[in-house]
Structure 1
């Protein structure tokens, strides 16, 4: 981490746009006026990454071993709703993303559905289930392959991980500590 709390940009990620010193993941949705919306997934790009075996962060082809970030409920179903990452892109993500790093106890309350209404951009949370919900524990799931499916809950492309495709699972975070209602807003970290 740099003194500002922003992780250094990896060589692999230097081609990606940045906002406030943070790399914008390849699957991040962008408004019609060109602004990137951290925490909002462009379902078309997410679908392309899964189908092409590309990293969701850098948008480049994956090696023969890669890492998924999966919530406990995803792990229970063995379904990853987002594409995997290069190990180094994954490491950057768990440092830079406040949700993966456990610095947030809830998803942003508003979401971004209103910003993308009528634009034709399909979001990765089409039912709008995440806004305001409590953060969940995250896991690193190392794998060497996955089976492309349509997630029965979200009706979007997803990765089904069969037991022989999983190499290792380890917790990344537990749920974030609840925010003290007496603390000033944003004192716990940046919203995702």
Structure 2
């Protein structure tokens, strides 16, 4: 008998299909360029029909941004669960570590994804929108903790920049270690800054 919270066979198959599509698309985009790869080629590489592919994704861009909702939800929950009275950067740190937990297992795929996005202006624009959405969630959480909108925006901007820097270091340098270690290093650098 399965646990009540265990995923059903259907959910497991759906997740595996999505993962196969994302992996196939990312590999093809990295090898041939985003604009040169058709949806039909992705479906063939993932060994699914195009109708199946469109049941999982709205368009070609979605292959590279498939986990945005899960990432957003995990970061929102983690930020909200930060203890009352903790520092604003601790709230951001909680959210960043939730992101690290999701991203850590897919480093190789994320390296390829980053290369594809860097070479494709439309994808860079969408990546920017994703970062804006993550910053808004941090601003909302900080405002709910009593910070003014202006201060929340400033703190969130600094925090999201730190997360972005840690992610970049982790993706560019295999010697960095884990994403959590990269986050720790960036946070330590920020805390050691002295404006005097």
TM superposition score normalised by structure 2: 0.26
Of the two structures, which has the highest relative contact order with CA contacts closer than 8 Å and spacing of 6 or more? Answer: 1
TM-score for both structures, normalised by structure 1: 0.26
Q: Which has the larger radius of gyration?
A: 2
